Amino acid sequence: MKRELELKITEEFPFMRRGKNIDEQRKEVGHISDLYGAFGCGVGDGWYEVIRGLCRDITEAYTKAGLPVDIIVDQVKEKFGTLRFYYHPEAHDPGIHAFVSVSDGKSIRIMPGISELHKEVAEIVQKWEKESSNVCEKCGIAGDLRKDLSWVLTLCDSCYARLSKK
């Protein structure tokens, strides 16, 4: 996603700000452990409104509960043609908590001992990840999951035509 769109998201939703400065991290641990901080929002510009909707729904859930947003974003990317939004509640060890099926691209999240609010957030994330399979990742209009390219992508007919000619 273009940096200017990432900045708009972080202005509206502060929990989407990236982690530590990459150079600081390399000095501390010798490598980059914060994928989101390192690579930002690794999706096409067309999913800007999908991510914005996801963030809005998360913020509304926390507002309704009367609590500040306490999730840390680990990674935002495309996988098997749909959005993947990996995060963890501040008080939980991020560890490995998401598995993605190679056969159908569905993901399973495991977060033991989380609150009802965090369960609601998980449902919100799942809803928007599914919604991304109906939105062109390149331009943002209605799209379909395309499995006949060299990479599985969700694209509208126009973007699909451009990519399939290459």
Largest CA distance in the chain: 51
pLDDT score for 32: 44
| Residue range 37-61: mean pLDDT, rounded | 92
| Residue 1 in this model has a pLDDT that exceeds 80 | yes
Task: Encode pLDDT of 141-152 as tens digits.
Answer: 999 999 999 899
Of 110, 114, 88, residue with least CA distance to 34:
88
Tens-place pLDDT, residues 80-111: 999 999 888 887 665 555 556 656 666 665 55
Residue 22 makes CB contacts below 8 A (sequence gap 6+) with 32, 37, 38
Give yes or no for residue 57 having a pLDDT over 80. Answer: yes
Residue 140 has pLDDT above 80, yes or no: yes
At residue 121, does pLDDT exceed 70?
yes
Q: Report pLDDT for 106.
A: 63
Q: Where are the domains of the chain?
A: 3-164
- Mean per-residue pLDDT, 27-47: 69
CB-CB neighbours of 22 under 10 Å: 14
